Structure 1
Amino acid sequence: MSHDVIKTFTGNIEPGDHPYLQGPWAPLHEEVNADDLIVLEGAVPDDIDGVYLRNTQNPLHQALSRYHPFDGDGMIHMAAFRDGKVQYRNRYIETKGLQAEIESGERLWAGLMEAPSLSKRPGWGAHGAMKDASSTDVVVHAGKALTTYFQCGEGYRLDPLTLAQAGVPDWSPEDGISAHTKVDEQTGELLFFNYSKKPPYMHYGVVDRNDRLVHYTPIPLPGPRLPHDMAYTQNYAILNDFPLYWDPEALKQDKHVVRFFKDKPSRFAVIPRRGGVDDIMWFEAEPTFVLHFLNAYEDGDEIVLDGYFQEDPMPTNYEGALPGYERMMSYLDQFKMGTKLHRWRFDLKTGKTTEQRLDDRIMEFGMFNQKYAGRRYRYAYSALQVPGWFIFNGYLKTDLHTGESWEIRLPEGQFASEAPFAPRINAKDEDDGYLVTFIINETTGKSEVALIDCKRFSDGPICRVQLPHQMASGTHSCWANGVDFRDGGILARAAMGG
């Protein structure tokens, strides 16, 4: 295998005994191009065409006091599949914050577990005074990759193949763009939301296939909230107001103390995709917090929404954790929070909500065939976490029509990524394609990109390809079909103004 080291960054990270600065979370500080990759197992199929992008956290400078893994600087990893071959690239996301810290040689902004007053410069995000690391999510829209930050930031665009930086979108609103923007493959639209500590506390927007902001409306809330995801159907967008948010009294003292108000209901805002404040329909449900939704669709007069219900959104402190990190370790453990696949039904005629538990096993970070986004679908693919750690070592395929499921686990010392579904060229069925994942292999000190044939799910990876280094773990990823951003596809036409 040959590869070119494009750049190596020098920082001042001292991992010490921090659990999320070592092992599969050890930061990577080099950028490479690799076109001649070694196939370790199987063969790269020639019926897959597109790019797999994953966002990861790679802090360059030491935290001001306490580091949280979500504070790390964003780095995109790209694996491009075409004609039975794979290419790999990785690049830091050149955010304004990262560039300023490289220039100063030190950390300038407080992180998630640090007091905003520690920040040395004005910052970004709903929390206030934080750095927009753009390290949470990534999608491909209008011919460009768009990376976003969970506390809201400006968003950054890159070429999905070369990872060349293309700056922030012209349409980025004052309150920023939250992670978990949604791209509708059928229309080319990007749906997004943001949130802040000032009224109306949330907004929802639509960017068309030509990368133009065409709709932006308030979603008024009773106070500052912490929404993390949204969903959509063919005709509606679904936002939320969960009873897990900053304590209002502590917030008056500029202290960001998260509390779960278990006596308050969960609330869901259903709004037409181009609707305004007067069009919002609010639905109440059992109190919980949902980090991630799967999909939503319309079923007659009802909207069906699938996601991961947390049975304990405010778990007890993690025993045996590094002092000062007990709460962080708990909030990163799906087993402590009890994340289970769940379904909500909202009756648009009566205003009533019904709920159903779909599976009692612990799972999260679900994916599905994006051709069925906003539409009735059958198959879901959930990531399985290592107990006690924010890291995955397996996947579960669920048939939502029959309840049947199939599970696979990686060998000891190997850790997976969030794995999007990549449809096979000329696919005939909803599950006719692959899960694509990066694997951190601590036994070799390298990473791999692997494919799981969803028609033969229980067989596990059918192809594993060696990468030149060990990447750090991270959060979200996406798949973009080659036909959509090459050769006049919908995303490519949008990038050219078509």
Structure 2
Amino acid sequence: MFPPLDPNGPNGFFGLDSSFSHEGEAADLVVFGEIPKELNGTFYRIMVDPFYPLQEGNAPIEGDGNICAIRIKDGRADLKVRYVDTERLKLERQANKRLFGLYRNPFTHHPCVRAAVDSTANTNLVFWAGKLLALKESAMPYHVHLDTLETLSYDPFKSPGKTFSAHPKVDPFTEELVVFGYEAKGLGTEDIVIYALDKQGAIHDEQWIKSPWPAFIHDCAITPNFIILVLWPYDADVEHMKKGGQHWVYNKDRPATFIVVPRRPNNLPAGWKSGESRVYFWEHAVLLHTAGSWEVTAENGDIKLYFESSRIFYNVFPTMGPPTDNPFGDFKADYVKWEIDLTKPANTKVADPTVILDMPGEMARIDERFLTKPYEKLFCPVIPPGKQGPIPPILPIGLHAYALLDKASGKTEMFDPGSGCTIEEPIFVPRSKDAPEGDGWVMGMIQRLDVNRSDLVVLDTKNFAKPVAVVQLPFRIKGQIHGNWVEALPDEGA
């Protein structure tokens, strides 16, 4: 059991809720310890922050996108918070009320806004081709100013299809942003578009495939020659939506499913036909996010693909479950490595994955300079065994420690922020451009529920258990979904 909050304590408000949403900025935040002088850039976090109260029954991933930018230079940190001015937020501000209903269900929206772009831009922030992109997989990106956070444009690359993934992947060796969009021809469709953006934002290697069902495809993995789409066990049914139901409904009968597609349709690997994609599956599980991925080619040309992900054995979104479903059941989750043997025909069950972190973990990151290659260091938020957190031990909200796994040795180092805390997705910043893999700093937001405060922690990978700096925010900030570090541009760092 988890003790109730003291209504007279620092985090108690006599059972009263607040719809407070915020924008603003603060300079020269309080810093305990010393922020390394080598850190010069901005940690961009995207938060789910409904400007108006949501319709009852909405998924926790619904809500307006609000950007928290923490700028770091010369050991100091400044804060700026601003909403993404999406089309739907502008319409609601004009009406001064909520106009949009359930997550990605236009039939529950007010009739006057059903033709509007239904994107909250609240899931990820990615910097590419000189543009900071606020992403939501139901639509195209919003282009946001790096400094002011002003929303500048919608669909800056004129991308194909109607959707753009919240998890495009940067190939650091080919300098491409690999993109996919599902439901790419409209609500409930099985169409998927895949392509790449070069450093200037030009589109190439566009291809269209079909999903085996209208599936929730939140994340992917890339290797030098392939993209692996990871399908969650949720179904989309337009007729169900028309009756006021959720866009997604959890399906216990769906296995973990993977679609493998060559990245370059005009230069196909041996044995692949034009337009071909291959579907593989395992048993039932939710693979929320991937970490690293790579491929191995044998002397005879046989190829095996590898990627690592969380593995969760329950419905992570109870509002999307059947009404009688026990949402969490027996809590079980871990972090694993998958192998897909491309010599096996499509619709083959893959081998059981290898457990690499035998504890519940999610939102893991790697040294992304090595993405598409084998790697050794994994930075993973976890729920440590035997430690009670401030909320029930469920993913992804119950995370309350950071683990640094060295896969070669099997050694795991842990940073524990203390009781009363939850933690969010970390970012990794290398000590220098040519630093060894995993040598640098890990940063992440700590939500101190016991004192109603948010702190940014800076960890040195050489001594992971103790922070080198803690940046104290002036108020409790909303929880993030994802975020990324962007190095200061040359003129910014002068």
Q: Which bin holds the TM-score, normalised by the shorter protein?
A: 0.7 to 0.9
Range 472-481 or range 185-194, more displaced: 185-194
Q: Measured at CA, do residues 443 and 350 of structure 1 come closer, stay the same or move farther in structure 2, by a change above 3 Å? A: closer
Which deviates further from its counterpart, 343-352 or 68-77? 343-352
On the 8 A contact 1:422/1:481 being kept in 2, the answer is: no
Deviations 1:267-306 (A, max 9, x none): 3222222228624233332332211111111122211111
Matched, 1:474 2:480: yes
Instruction: Give structure 1 stretches of 5+ with no counterpart.
Output: 1-14, 319-323, 490-498
**Secondary structure of 1:138's partner?**
strand
Task: Name the counterpart of 2:150.
Answer: 164
Please show how residues 58-69 of structure 1 align to structure 2 within 5 Å: 58-69=49-60
- The structure with the largest helix share of the pair is 1
Q: Of residues 165, 171, 177 in structure 2, which corresponds to 1:178? A: 165
In structure 2, C-alpha distance between the alignment counterparts of 1:210 and 1:222, rounded to whole Å: 33
Question: 1:57, CA displacement in angstroms?
Answer: 1.3
Structure 2 contact 458–470 (Cα < 8 Å) conserved: yes
Gap regions ≥5 residues in structure 2: 1-12, 267-273, 298-302, 384-390
Please tell me the residue identity of whatever aligns with 2:422: F
**What residue is the counterpart of 2:336 in the other structure?**
342
2:427 aligned to which of 420, 425, 434: 420
CA separation of 1:54 and 1:292: change in aligned 2, threshold 3 A:
same
2:3 matched residue in structure 1: none
Given candidates 222, 230, 250, the residue that maps to 1:232 is: 222
Higher mean alpha-carbon deviation, 418-427 vs 388-397, is at 388-397
Correspondence for 1:364: 362
**Cα gap change, 1:252/1:112 in structure 2, threshold over 3 Å: closer, same or farther?**
closer
Match of 2:379 among 378, 381, 401: 381
AA aligned opposite 2:473: L
Distance 2:90 2:316 in 1: 35
Alignment match of 1:394 (pick from 401, 419, 436): 401
1:299 to 296, 300, 308: 296
Residue among 111, 129, 134 paired with 1:142 = 129
User: How far did residue 113 of structure 1 move?
Assistant: 9.4
Does the CA contact (< 8 Å) of 2:145 and 2:151 recur in 1?
Answer: yes
> How far off its partner does 1:336 sit?
5.8
Identify which of structures 1 and 2 has the higher relative contact order when contacts are C-alpha pairs closer than 8 Å and 6+ apart: 1
Matches within 5 A, 1:431-470: 431-442=438-449, 445-459=452-466, 461-470=467-476
How many residues are treated as equivalent by the alignment?
452
Verify the 8 A CA contact 1:27 1:471 in the aligned structure 2: no
SS in 2 for 1:219: strand
Q: Is the 1:188–1:209 Cα contact (8 Å) retained in structure 2?
A: yes
Q: Structure 1: which amino acid aligns with 2:194?
A: Y
Q: Which residue of 2 aligns with 1:429?
A: 436
1:273 and 2:263 aligned? yes
Q: Does 1:54 align with 2:45?
A: yes
Indicate how the Cα distance of structure 1 residues 114 and 191 shifts in structure 2: closer, same or farther if over 3 A, else same: closer
Q: CA RMSD in A?
A: 3.4
CA distance in structure 2 between the aligned counterparts of 1:55 and 1:391, rounded to whole angstroms: 19
8 Å contact kept, 2:401–2:415: yes
Amino acid at match of 2:27: D
Distance 1:442 1:251 in 2: 36
| Identity, % of aligned positions | 24
* CA distance in 2 between partners of 1:192 and 1:58 (Å): 26
Q: Which residue of 2 aligns with 1:223?
A: 213
Q: Is the contact made by 2:232 and 2:257 (CA closer than 8 Å) also made in structure 1?
A: yes
Residues 96-153 of structure 1 show CA distances to partners (whole Å, capped at 9, x for unaligned) of 11111111100111123988334343448xxxx8841111111111122211114x12
- Distance of aligned partners of 1:339 and 1:245 in 2 relative to their CA distance in 1, 3 Å threshold: farther
Deviation at 1:84, TM superposition (A): 2.6
Contact 1:310 1:339 survives alignment (8 Å): yes
1:211 to 2:201 alignment: yes
Relative to 1, partners in 2 of residues 1:265 and 1:55: Cα closer, same or farther, differing over 3 Å?
same
Once the two structures are TM-superposed, the CA of residue 227 in structure 1 deviates from its matched residue by: 1.1
Contact 1:134 1:156 in 2 (8 A): yes
1:473 deviates by 0.9
Q: C-alpha separation between the residues in 2 aligned to 1:362 and 1:106?
A: 39
Partner of 2:402: helix, strand, or coil? strand
Q: Which amino acid aligns with 2:401?
A: G
Q: Secondary structure at the match of 1:97?
A: helix
| Mapped contact 1:66–1:111 kept (Cα < 8 A) | yes
Check 1:243–1:164 CA distance in 2 against 1; reply closer, same or farther (3 A cut): closer
TM-score (norm 2): 0.81
1:49-80 deviation digits (Å, cap 9, x = unpaired): 32211100111112233444322211111122
**Distance change (3 Å), C-alpha of 1:330 and 1:382:** farther
Q: How big is each residue's C-alpha offset from its partner over 1:393-450, in whole Å with a ceiling of 9 and x where there is no partner?
A: 2211112223221222222333322111111125532121111122333455443322
Secondary structure at the aligned position of 2:35 is classed as coil
Displacement of 1:222: 3.0
Compared with structure 1, are the counterparts of its residues 70 and 263 closer, same or farther at alpha carbon in structure 2 (3 Å cutoff)? closer
Aligned with 2:44: secondary structure? Answer: strand
- The whole-number CA distance in structure 2 between the counterparts of 1:444 and 1:282 is 48
**CA 1:269/1:236 → structure 2, altered by over 3 Å: closer, same or farther?**
same
Which residue identity does 2:427 align to in structure 1?
P
After superposition, what is the alpha-carbon deviation per residue over 1:433-478, rounded to whole angstroms, capped at 9, x for unaligned? 111122333455443322011121122x220122232211121111
Q: Does 1:36 align with 2:41?
A: no
Alignment check: 8 A CA contact 2:215 2:235 kept: yes
Conserved? CA contact 1:53–1:138, under 8 Å: yes
Are residues 109 and 253 of structure 1, via their aligned partners in 2, closer, same or farther at CA, if it must alter by over 3 Å? Answer: closer
